Each structure stands twice: as C-alpha cells, then as structure tokens.
Amino acid sequence: MRLIRYQYIWAITAALVSCATAWPFFSNPVASAPKQKPLRVEQHNTGRSLYPYTLREHDPNAEICVAGSKQFTGMVSVSDEKKLFFWFFESRNDPSSSPVTIWLNGGPGGPSLFGLFLEIGPCVLNSHNNGTVFEKNSWTEFSNVLFIDQPAGVGFSTVNGSNSGGPDNVVEAAEDFTRFLITFFGQVFPQYAANPLHFAGESFAGKYIPGYVHYMEQRRKQGLLPSLPTIQSIILVDAVIDTVSSSVLSLYDHFCDVDDEIGAPTTKKPFNTTACDALENAAPECQRLDALCRDTYDGNVCQISHEVCFDTLGGWLMDDVREGGRDPYDDRKACGPNPPICEGFEGEGYAAYVNRSEVKIALGFEEDYVFSGINWDLNQRWERSKDIFVPTTRELAYILDETPIRVLVLNGNNDIIVNTEGQKRVYDHLSWRRQASFRMHRFRNWTWPNEDGKMTVGGQFKTANDTETVDKLAFMTINEAGHTSPGDQRQAVTWLMGCWTGAPPQGADERCFV
C-alpha cells in the first residue's frame, strides 16, 4: 500500500509526504452513491453594494515595478473584515481602448503577485532579487491588467488585518470576488467598466474562474447583479477543472507512452515497467471513482476519488520527487532544494522580494507584515471543507452553453501536475452543445512570429465554433513550457493573448491560430 499523500496545492503545488491516516470510508467508498446535487447559486445576503477602498498611484517606473505604464495598488473591502489587495497596470498602448484582463493564481493559497513578477507582468526581478527591471513581453502590451490577491487571507489580502481566516469554499470566495468587481468598476475605475473584460488564471484558478463566472452570470440572469462589465472570455492556464483526470490519471499517458512505429518511449524520462504496469492496473478503479465524483459533485465522493487515485497513481511520481529528482511542475527540470514544491513558489524569489520592507512600505503595509508565497492554513481549510476536491466541469459547461463567453484553454506540454494528455481527455469529455464535433477535431500546429518575424510552431490547437461564436472553445498546447506556461514561453503566449483578446498583432491572421 502506498502511503503518500498529496497536498492539494495546484498553483505551486505540493505534495506532502506523510503517513496517510486511515480514512474511515476508505474500504467501501461508494456503497450508496448520493444523488447528484443541483448546480445552483445559493442566495447570500450581499449586504451593502458598495464598500470602502483605498488607492495609491505609483510612478510608472517605480523601483517596486518598472512597468512603463501607469500603475495603481489598493485594497477593496468586501465585508467589514475582508479586504482584497489589487495591483492594476494600464495598458502600454492606448489604455482607454484596450481590454481589461484580470489575472489570478491558484493554490488555493497562492497570491496572484506570482503571475505579476514571474509570468505576465510588466516587470521582472533583477539579478540580485532586490529590485525590478522592465519586461517587454508583458500582457500590458495590449491590455490593462489587474492582479488580485484572493481569497481574503492570501498575499496582501487580509481578514481583520491579518492572514488568518478567509473563505474556504468557492461560493464565499465568489461572493467576495463579485463585490470586489462591483466596487472596482463602479467606483475605483469606472472609466474601464465599458472595456472588454477577460478573466485569466492558472492552476487552481480552474476552480475559481468557472466558479466565479457561473456565480456572476447566474445572478446577472436573475437580475441580481448591479452593472458589471460584460465578460468576453475566460482563459484557463494549466488549470484544473477535474483534478484527478487532469493530473494523476494521465501519468500513464505522460510517462509510459510508446511510439508504435519506433517502439521507443515518446518522453525523455519514461517510467520503468514496474511503474507503468502499476499505473495501468490502478487506472480503471481511479477512472470509475473520478466519474462518480464528476457525476455527483459530492465533496465526500470526490475526496475518496482523490485519496485513492493520488495514492495508487500519484505515488509513482512522488517517489521520484526529491532534490535532483523529478519536478512535478516541469518534466524538463530537476527538483530544486525544497521538495515537494521543487520551484521557488514559497519563500524564495519573488515572495522574498515582495516581503522586503521597502516594497511593503511602498504598497502601504507595515514593515512587519508577513507576505507569504503560500498560505498553507487557507489551503488546508479548503481541503477540510472538501471544496478543493469538487470539479468545475458543470460550471464550465454552463458558461459554454448558457453565456456568450468564449473559453481559451492553454496547457504547457511539459507540465506533469496538470498535464496536456489528461487535459485533452477532460475537454473531449466535457458535455456541452458542441462536444461531439470538438471531440472529433484533430489537433494542428499553431504558429507565432518570433523576433525575426519568422513563423514558429508554438504548440498544437483545436477549436469549436458555437452557432454564432467563432472559437467558442479553443484548446492550445504550449511547447517547451511547464506548469507556469505564460512565464516559460513569455513571448509566444503574450503574442497569442494579444491576438485572442482582439487586437491581432502584426503577422496574425484574424483567428490567430492558423
């Protein structure tokens, strides 16, 4: 029996090696499967519609972020206790007519400032990690970009002024997020309320984004939502909408696949026969439990599916996750000195920079405020509430079937923890109006113009059109990219996003992908 437990951190994302406790329902998990719970938005008392906020403007080339365009930070209260921190950058090109893109990182417990400094933002850390330098390949080239640390308790976002507490489920987090947007577009920057809005996020944001958008669109239909900008598209980056299928269930595909013609593994560091045989043997039971989780949307059932699948399948990966071993976020890299996180997600790198006194003071925080790269306590509370285990496939199907919002899926081909092989099955499996034709389509190469203007293969794609929407659902894979794919292929993904959000850069066809 493999006794390795995952810590469900998807941004960053970790595995905690500990002895699994005996799960009381482990032996006979599904004796009586609960009925499928209806997908609905609970009616919460939203209280006041507008809450106070703070706003400070920074020099476009301030040391804290050499951005090259106007930048603002602030806090929006979403209840008497909870405040969400944001960092807003105007577009470098004609902000008033540029779209607004919201960016979220995952976890749960990972601040979105990770994406600001390491993936899509206008500045990156200097070589001493004690200041920043301008970065040309940023999404601010074509869009106003809004980074929000959330849920409350994560990064600079607070509950009663500290990092303890905060939402442990998607409905409460959605409610806070909605209040944030109402204040942000109603009061803080009303001049941007009419611009096209895109909503992007990575990893566990595959739970947040479909969850929040479903929450907001349902309320909009019921007339319960005060004016909020129209969401044009959502962008799901290495994002989990069905954690088991996107991850451990397809380790076999990622590590055991053999090219029939040459008889050799298709991956650089394949698993050995022992591991591949074990994965193959464990797959049917995991698949059955995962299907049950998707059908019931029941936290207990989904927790069992996770425990079983992550033990019987995930263990074969975790055996190799140690310093110098495999890095679950990128199959090209060796794990760094801090397994199972392996990469500098937590205290090092950007988080240590953001936690410097001069940065905190510039952002309006006390010197002794602790900015942490992962809020483990919040992460564990999402696990205890079981909401971490529940998929968002039905929320995403709702968005595809019931709203005009377009959906772009990006996935790094070197990501292991959220691997392309699994994601392809997840999206082929998703039940929505155009499922049958989407599933039938074959992947083709997509290209982007590199520095010399030469069209270069960036990965593969397939799309499906809705009755009136071209590229209603687009799935793009990214070559030479791990879990943080927009950071790993900054230039290609920046180009792609500029195209997707409606301003085809030079060299682009109107549909970007051909």
Binding site for ligand NAG (CB under 6 A): 81, 128, 130-131, 159-160, 165, 272, 274-275, 316, 319-320, 347, 352, 355, 368, 370, 372, 441, 445, 457, 463-465, 470
Question: Residue 102 Cβ, how far from ligand NAG at the closest point, in Å?
Answer: 25
Shortest Å, Cβ 164 to ligand NAG = 7
Length of the chain: 514
In the bound state with ligand NAG, the residue whose beta carbon lies nearer, of 359 and 396, is 359
CB atoms within 10 A of CB 60: 17
Q: Nearer Cβ to ligand NAG, position 388 or 474?
A: 474
CB of 362 to ligand NAG, least distance (A): 12
Q: Which two tokens stand for residue 322?
A: 């140690």
Contact 247, 283 (CB under 8 A): no
Residue 395 tokens read as 């929320």
- The conformation of residue 295, written as its DSSP 8-state character, comes to H
Which residue, 209 or 478, is less far from ligand NAG as judged by CB?
A: 478
Q: Which is nearer to ligand NAG, 36 or 357 (CB)?
A: 357
Q: What is the DSSP string of 304-351?
A: HHHHHHIIIIIHHHHTT-STTSEETTEEEEE--SSTTT-SS-SSSHHH
Nearer Cβ to ligand NAG (131/186): 131
Q: Which secondary structure element, helix H or strand E, spans residue 252, and what is its range?
A: helix 251-256
- Burial (CB count within 10 angstroms: exposed 0-12, middle 13-18, buried 19+), residue 48: exposed
- When the beta carbons of 299 and 459 are compared against ligand NAG, the nearer one is 459
Smallest separation (angstroms) from ligand NAG to the CB of 105: 17
Question: Between 429 and 441, whose beta carbon lies closer to ligand NAG?
Answer: 441
- List the Cα angle 373/105/171 in 5-degree steps: 110
Query: Least Å distance between CB 127 and ligand NAG?
Result: 9
Q: Nearest distance from residue 95's CB to ligand NAG, in Å?
A: 29
Region of 297 on the Ramachandran plot (φ > 0 left; ψ -120 to 50 alpha; else beta): left
Q: Which of 22, 27, 7 is nearest to 285 (CA)?
A: 27
CA angle 85, 378, 383 (to 5 degrees): 140
Least distance CB 514 / ligand NAG (angstroms): 8
